[in-house]
């Protein structure tokens, strides 16, 4: 039997692994306590990530970088701006140009010089971009800088990026972590005929070798909310059938998670503190407005459609039903919106934005799907098998917002 000290040590390592999996860049500035734990257990973490997932962990004096490989499209998460909007292609372009300018930057530089260097890099790449041109360009450029600041690449030394976004003449000085700037791009671009060809060369979800195939399978289980057997290639479906218990045991050793294994597929169940480690992102259910709206919508849909069981395929959600339940959850007069308005939240998404984000969360959590590529609006949505675990009992009315507010929903207890 393990001693209490051994249990605490294991829990500390597993919490660090979960944080790195969700936040692959951890610095002494952005996560001082967590980074100290990662440095303490760097050997254990480095060996486990390499053996179990084939990921390379680098721990330097002031930062840790987990370089992932093998999954691209299936686990891509869009970056967001301070107001919650997703990065536009222009914002990603400024992010890439800024990183190109920072790899040879001094440790301290004014943002005006960085803007000039970014413009030079854009010209070299044949792009007509200049963050000094007008306010709209400056704000997109600043959004990229703010994201680099959250990663610890940049630090505001004198003045603030918010001031520079409002007034391009404001003098703002930045501290630069050049070493971290060079590590942000985990896999530097190589020669490829086009962007899609480059992404395809990075994919490794179904390798031919058995050992590589098992590593790819563990990556998929660790990075995907629910792995449905029907979505796998024949070779990987067979591997999952033969090695699922071993894969779950290996991931449990690394991440401290449990698993739910059913005929339809496999889902990892993270500890209750996973939402704190992930900052509320990629966890379901969660306590933020989007997570609560998604949970309430899912419960109402499962209760209303009342499927005896959710098969390996899907249960279609009629558009009119989805529209009615969304109105009850995120509509102007819905109680959740009134309750959120009484909280300290600085921003409540508008109805269309909240609708889109709640459905996106349910899709990413493997609870709802939209297989028809041409579907628009609220057409084509399905309830997937894992949604059944959030349904009410037969005869039970859908929980309204007051029910949800009073219930003790365990963040991170789901997928």
* Confidence band, pLDDT 50/70/90 cuts, at residue 312: low
pLDDT per residue as tens digits for the range 231-251: 888 999 999 999 999 999 999
- Alpha helices for 126-233 (secondary structure H): 135-151, 161-166, 178-184, 195-202, 210-223
- Alpha helices for 23-160 (secondary structure H): 32-40, 42-48, 89-102, 111-124, 135-151
- Mean pLDDT for 314-329 is 91
Q: Residue 2 pLDDT more than 50?
A: yes
The pLDDT, as a whole number, for residue 101 is 94
Q: 141-155, 209-223, 359-373: which has the highest mean pLDDT? A: 141-155
**130 or 81: which leads in pLDDT:** 130
Contact status, residue 48 vs residue 40, Cβ threshold 8 Å: no
Mean pLDDT (the chain) is 83
The pLDDT, as a whole number, for residue 332 is 74
**Strand (E) or helix (H) holding 268:** strand 265-269
* Confidence band, pLDDT 50/70/90 cuts, at residue 404: very low
Using CA atoms in the order 305, 306, 310, 311, what is the torsion angle rounded to 10 degrees? Answer: -80
Q: Which residues does residue 65 pair with via DSSP β-bridges, in sequence order?
A: 25, 58
**332 or 29: which leads in pLDDT:** 29
Q: Residue 35 pLDDT more than 70?
A: yes
Name 26's Cβ contacts closer than 8 Å, sequence gap at least 6: 19, 20, 34, 35, 38, 63, 64
Contact status, residue 301 vs residue 321, Cβ threshold 8 Å: yes
Contact status, residue 304 vs residue 316, Cβ threshold 8 Å: no
Please tell me what DSSP assigns to residue 208: S
Q: Is 134 helix (H, G, I), strand (E, B) or coil?
A: coil
- Tokens coding 343: 């909280």
For the chain, the residue count is 415
The pLDDT, as a whole number, for residue 1 is 55
Q: For residues 179 and 173, what is the distance between their CA atoms, to the nearest angstrom?
A: 19
The pLDDT, as a whole number, for residue 405 is 39
- Mean pLDDT for 151-157 is 94
Q: Which residues of 109-137 are buried (b: 16+ CB within 10 A; e: fewer)?
A: bbbbebbebbbebbeeeeeebbbeeeeeb
- Mean pLDDT for 74-78 is 71
Please tell me what DSSP assigns to residue 74: G
- Mean pLDDT for 42-46 is 97
Q: For residues 317 and 380, what is the distance between their CA atoms, to the nearest angstrom?
A: 7
The pLDDT, as a whole number, for residue 338 is 62
Q: For residues 138 and 128, what is the distance between their CA atoms, to the nearest angstrom?
A: 14
Q: Is 226 helix (H, G, I), strand (E, B) or coil?
A: strand
Residue with the two structure tokens 């190109």: 100
Q: Residue 205 pLDDT more than 70?
A: no
Residues of the chain above pLDDT 90, percent? 52
- Mean pLDDT for 78-104 is 89
Q: Residue 345 pLDDT more than 70?
A: no
Q: Which CATH class is domain 89-184?
A: mainly alpha
Residues of the chain above pLDDT 70, percent? 80
What are the residue boundaries of the structural domains of the chain, listed by start?
4-69, 89-184, 208-269, 279-406
């Amino acid at each position: 039997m393990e001693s209490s000290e051994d249990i605490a040590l294991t829990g500390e390592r597993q919490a660090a692994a979960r944080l790195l999996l969700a936040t692959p860049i951890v610095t002494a500035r952005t996560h001082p306590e967590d980074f100290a734990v990662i440095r303490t257990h760097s050997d254990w973490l480095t060996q486990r990530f390499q053996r179990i997932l084939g990921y390379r962990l680098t721990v330097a004096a002031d930062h840790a970088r987990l370089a992932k490989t093998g999954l691209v499209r299936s686990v891509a998460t869009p970056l967001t701006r301070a107001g919650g909007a997703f990065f536009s292609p222009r914002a990603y372009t400024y992010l890439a140009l800024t990183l190109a300018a920072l790899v040879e930057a001094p440790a301290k530089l004014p943002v005006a010089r960085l803007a000039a260097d970014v413009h030079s890099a854009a010209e070299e790449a044949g792009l007509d971009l200049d963050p000094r041109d007008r306010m709209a360009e400056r704000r997109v450029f600043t959004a990229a800088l703010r994201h680099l600041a959250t990663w610890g690449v940049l630090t505001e030394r004198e003045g603030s990026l918010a001031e520079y976004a409002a007034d391009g003449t404001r003098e703002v000085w930045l501290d630069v972590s050049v070493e971290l700037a060079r590590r942000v791009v985990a896999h530097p671009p190589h020669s490829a005929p086009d962007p899609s060809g480059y992404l395809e060369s990075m994919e490794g979800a179904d390798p031919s070798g058995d050992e590589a195939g098992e590593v790819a399978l563990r990556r998929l289980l660790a990075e995907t909310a629910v792995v449905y057997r029907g979505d796998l290639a024949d070779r990987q479906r067979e591997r999952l059938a033969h090695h699922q218990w071993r894969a779950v045991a290996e991931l449990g050793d690394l991440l401290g998670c449990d698993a739910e294994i059913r005929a339809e597929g496999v889902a990892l169940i993270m500890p209750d503190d996973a939402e704190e480690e992930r900052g509320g992102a990629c966890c379901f259910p969660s306590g933020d407005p989007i997570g609560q709206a998604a949970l309430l919508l899912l419960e109402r849909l499962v209760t209303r459609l009342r499927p005896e069981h959710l098969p390996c395929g899907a249960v279609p959600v009629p558009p009119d039903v989805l529209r009615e339940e969304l109105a009850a959850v995120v509509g102007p007069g819905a109680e959740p919106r009134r309750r959120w308005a009484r909280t300290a939240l600085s921003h409540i998404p508008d109805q269309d934005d909240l609708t889109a984000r709640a459905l996106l969360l349910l899709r990413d959590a493997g609870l709802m799907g939209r297989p028809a590529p041409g579907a628009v609006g609220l057409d084509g949505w399905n309830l997937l098998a894992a949604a059944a675990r959030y349904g009410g009992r037969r005869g039970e009315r859908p929980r309204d917002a007051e029910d949800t507010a009073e219930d003790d929903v365990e963040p991170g207890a789901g997928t």
